[in-house]
Amino acid sequence: MSVSEFNAGATPATPTLEAVRLPVIYGSGVVSALAELGRTEDVHLSPDNQRLAVAGHLSNRVLVLSIDVDWGGEAPQVRLHSPQPFTAREFSYPHGLFWSSDDTLLVANRQGGVPVFRIPPSAVDATPCELQPLLRLEAAHPGLVETPGSVSVLPLLGGCLDVLVCNNYTHQVTQHLVDLGGARPCAVTGSSLLARGLEIPDGVAHSPDGRWIAVSNHNEHCVRLYDASRPLGPDAEPVARLLGVDYPHGLRFAEHSRRVLVADAGAPFVHVFTCPDGGWQGEHWHDGRLQVLDEDTFLQGRSNPQEGGPKGLDIDLQGRLMVITNEMVPLAFFDLGPLLDRLQDGGRADQGQGAGRSLQDAQVWRRQVQGLARAQQCTQEQLQAQTTLAEARALELTRRDALLAQQQGHLQQIERTLEQTQAALADSQRAQAELRASRSWRLMAPYRLAGRAFRRWLAGAKV
């Protein structure tokens, strides 16, 4: 399917805007580092917008670049420099990543876990450096983190992190409360958060205010939105669905949660969804689409209907710079502000986020505690089931022991009867031996021979 065919299927109410890439100046070693990275997946800007991390899915590397954006000229200009390629024993098809601070990076590995790394300061040398994890979520919560493909982090006021992990092929989103501020980093709690209806959840994002959780549901071809101010659990249903996306992948909230941008891995677009009051409910179709790949580039990477489009997606904290990743285009940057201005107004008046921060944190802590309670209840139910099973097995063993004792009794009785029979046989054999050894037995021998001869003659006469 070509780009023109995608455009032909769009409704008149859904404008498709061509997004023009910003010019990029590549510093020394950046181009070769991107080439060595191979197929890219997720991308994320550090909170200070000075560093950019990209996941090399097949090369088992993560590349960190320093980034400067000049907004003062006639056209914004991006400069990438100081490439830092990183390897780690924990990297196994890295797919998702997230900066929890300007020097701390979480990496979700499709065939591994979610290690947390401290990233060293930028350096001129572009030699690959091996990282050692501060913490591994899969080790802290065994059996909970499996095939992770995406991760999102919400810092809390107390220094802890609310970490959400999309476990692609176990079809669930798990939550983890992580404390990196103490003398020893640790994962405090972990539990299953969302599961019902998920089929390959491929992307996850917190809203900046913490109220919303967005999940790209690959096989449902939509994004699910959950209200985190309400009780959540594995059976929770979304309060809203964002429709019209072929294969949703990376996603981000924008304009204080009134807009959601979704990268479509199966189309050359980033879809824009708008809810002017920020109170997401029901079904929403995209208000516009940003064409971020030209037709030739898109078709070159379209090895199947699920590929060819943008994968990773991120927006800086000012909501102006948008960056995407794609197999054919490792990195592309766009000036997001003018593009959104051309779409229907989403109510972009600035609103402070500090007023509800304490409430937001309280809601996250409540959700984590509820998850812990569910996990403990599940553990108790499992222990109860194991206890019941153990009791049933004990009863079965008791029954088998009784049956074995009964069989042993029968065997002992048979052994006694056999001993008696053997003793009687021995007595009979002794009696026969004594008879054969007696004088009368010898005297009667001629008569016994005559009797046998007479019986043979008699038998012959009858014939």
pLDDT band for position 431 (50/70/90)? confident
Domains of the chain: 3-353 (2.130.10.10)
Strands (DSSP E) found in 158-257: 160-167, 172-179, 186-194, 201-206, 212-217, 222-227, 240-243, 248-254
What pLDDT, on a 0 to 100 scale, did the predictor assign at position 433?
A: 84
Q: Which two three-digit tokens encode residue 110?
A: 């499709």
- Across 417-422, average pLDDT: 90
Q: Of 85-89, 171-175, 305-309, 402-406, which gets the smallest average pLDDT? A: 402-406
Q: Which two three-digit tokens encode residue 14?
A: 């859904």
Count of helix runs (H) and strand runs (E) in the chain: 8, 27
- In the chain the first and final C-alpha atoms are separated, in Å, by 107
User: For the stretch 239-278, what's the b/e string if a residue is b when 16 or more beta carbons lie within 10 angstroms of its beta carbon?
Assistant: ebbbebbbbbbbbbbbbbbbbbbbbbbbbbbbbbbbbeeb
Is the pTM here over 0.85, yes or no? no
Q: Of 147-151, 164-168, 182-186, which gets the smallest average pLDDT? A: 182-186
Sign of CA dihedral 214, 344, 321, 7: positive
Q: Which two three-digit tokens encode residue 366?
A: 């409540």
What pLDDT, on a 0 to 100 scale, did the predictor assign at position 233?
A: 93
What confidence tens digit (pLDDT) does each residue in 344-382 have? 654 444 444 444 566 677 778 778 877 777 777 777 777
Percentage of the chain lying above the pLDDT 90 cut: 64
Q: In angstroms, rounded to a whole number, what is the distance separating the alpha carbons of residues 303 and 385?
A: 48
What confidence tens digit (pLDDT) does each residue in 45-83 have? 999 999 999 999 999 999 999 999 998 877 889 999 999
Average pLDDT in the chain: 89
Q: Which amino acid is at 258?
A: R
Rg (CA), the chain: 39
| 3-class SS of residue 423 | helix
User: For the stretch 32-56, what's the b/e string if a residue is b when 16 or more beta carbons lie within 10 angstroms of its beta carbon?
Assistant: ebbeebebbbbbbbbeebebbbbbb
Q: Which amino acid is at 191?
A: S
| 3-class SS of residue 146 | coil
Q: In angstroms, rounded to a whole number, what is the distance separating the alpha carbons of residues 106 and 88?
A: 12
